[in-house]
Structure 1
Amino acid sequence: MTEQTYRIAPAARLDGNDIDAGGKCGRCAYRSLCLPFGLSDHDLARLEGVIGCRRRLGRGDVLFRVAQPFANLFAVRFGHFMTCRSDHRGERYITGFQMAGDLLGMDAIGNGEHASTAIALEDSEVCEISYARLRQIMAEIPQVMDHFHRTMSQEILRDQSAIRFLGILRADERMASLMLNLSARYAMRGFSPRRFQLRMSRDDMARYLGLKLETVSRLLARFREQGLIRLERRELEILDMRRLEALAAGTHEDSIA
């Protein structure tokens, strides 16, 4: 699919009549994730002004690449992405999975270029946010700055959790933790925490968890046998949340070596 770009219409005409209600931040289903609570209509309209366009991407399309100059952040409007890098051998590893309401590109703020490559896992759409204009808004509206800092803090915690996957947890604990992480994030967005689709492939999961593809397949089969999950193609249902939580914590008696 060829990438498509859509210009965002102004929030309203001068006479107050809506133009593009479907594209306004205030009407977005994930406003609570992207925007601070309590913004006035005036401040919301100013914040909407930093969104230059919406970009629609097909599965496999690249949103940005490693070392690409940084100018914009990207809020996922719908769909799923993964971010990845390559090690010194040229082997790709995955640094994260993103879904609607997440903000992409924050790793580029420090040195002015993207530290990872973002790839769409399915047909997706993002809102392109000018970082220069966003900085101006943050300086003028403290609520926006506070919300942005909270978002950055959550991103740091997510990165620390990924490091824990590789440095401390066993293979089965890593897989259980990934499932619980996805479960919690879908619940935050109003979806079922027990039934959802795995948008990433088994190879993607292996590259994220630091495991071999064969190990991921074996773990999924073992989780099914133990009655922890039901998995049909990529449709996952968590059958025993409590046991899965115990497994992620390393306290389950059936832990898999």
Structure 2
Amino acid sequence: MTPPSIKVTCSNCNLRELCMPVGLSEQQLQRIDDIVATRRKVKRGATLFRNGEAFTSLYAIRTGFFKTCVATEDGRDQVTGFQMAGEIIGLDGIVNDHHTCDAVALEDAEVCVMPFDGLEEISREVTALQTHVHKVMSREIVREHGVMLLLGSMRAEERLAAFILNLVQRLHARGFSSSELVLRMTREEIGSYLGLKLETVSRTFSKFVEEGMVEVKQRHVRILDTAALQRLVNSQHESNK
């Protein structure tokens, strides 16, 4: 059964600045509105798209949080990323016309469906949109490189510090606090993403608490010493020089 769709307009969306280029004329916005005509609700634990599924659309996340993951050869789920409101998901499908991962909602979420054919057509006319889509893709590539650096050489503390700082920075860009966040993912999912065992993630969180860097109450994390977390991450960059 197809999930219910609701008519929506980009022109009055409060996330417009994050997922659409600024400076578009009313006429250009109307063209995009005509294409991004539907929203889709995704319940917590449900899948937005699956590995191997035909690629037809990109999705702008309006509310909620997602994880992308792939099944490893031994049947485990390897988390490859976390995406939040204001970010675009589904770029993995562009290369071979099918998705290469599963996208699972970590909480009740809502996305705008952006049919890729229509987007490409408008992009040819509206250069600002084409540039914007390229920037979004570029940002994803840069983020993936960052993750590879994390997994390649960082110690557990450095990985978790970089993860917390990246998450709070992305949330802050969306108007949230620069020092407090609610983790929508489990410790196990964080471990899968960072290449760490569950016990290591828990132990490292405890170490950060003991050293006065963060305060943790279940999924609520409050950063008490941003500079100390940054020093942990920067020490890695210094040692790589």
- CA apart distance, 1:3: 7.7
CA contact (8 A) 1:52 1:130 kept: no
Map 1:1-257; keep pairs closer than 5 Å. Answer: 4-8=3-7, 23-250=8-235
Q: Say which SS state the counterpart of residue 157 (structure 2) adopts.
A: helix
Alpha-carbon distance in 1 for matches of 2:185, 2:18:
22
With 84-93 and 110-119 compared, the bigger mean Cα shift is at 84-93
Read off the aligned partner of 2:131 and give its amino acid letter. Answer: D
Q: Say which SS state the counterpart of residue 14 (structure 2) adopts.
A: coil
Structure 2: runs of 5+ lacking an equivalent: 237-241
CA RMSD of aligned residues (A): 1.3
**Cα-to-partner distance string for 1:161-185 (whole Å, 9 max, x where unaligned):** 1111110111110000000000110
Alpha-carbon distance in 2 for matches of 1:29, 1:203:
33
Q: Say which SS state the counterpart of residue 4 (structure 2) adopts.
A: strand
**Cα-to-partner distance string for 1:94-122 (whole Å, 9 max, x where unaligned):** 11000001111101101010011000000
- CA apart distance, 1:204: 0.6
The structure that is helix-richer by fraction is: 2
Structure 1: runs of 5+ lacking an equivalent: 9-22, 252-257
CA contact (8 A) 2:10 2:36 kept: no
Q: Percent identity?
A: 41
With 131-140 and 87-96 compared, the bigger mean Cα shift is at 87-96
Number of equivalences: 236
Read off the aligned partner of 2:132 and give its amino acid letter. Answer: H
Alpha-carbon distance in 2 for matches of 1:52, 1:204:
33
Q: Say which SS state the counterpart of residue 243 (structure 1) adopts.
A: helix
CA contact (8 A) 1:3 1:55 kept: no
Name which one, 1 or 2, has greater alpha-carbon Rg: 1
- CA apart distance, 1:90: 2.0
CA contact (8 A) 1:3 1:58 kept: no
- CA apart distance, 1:7: 3.1
Q: Give TM-score scaled by structure 2 length.
A: 0.95
Q: Runs of at least 4 residues of structure 1 off by over 6 A?
A: none
Q: Give TM-score scaled by structure 1 length.
A: 0.89
CA contact (8 A) 2:58 2:114 kept: yes
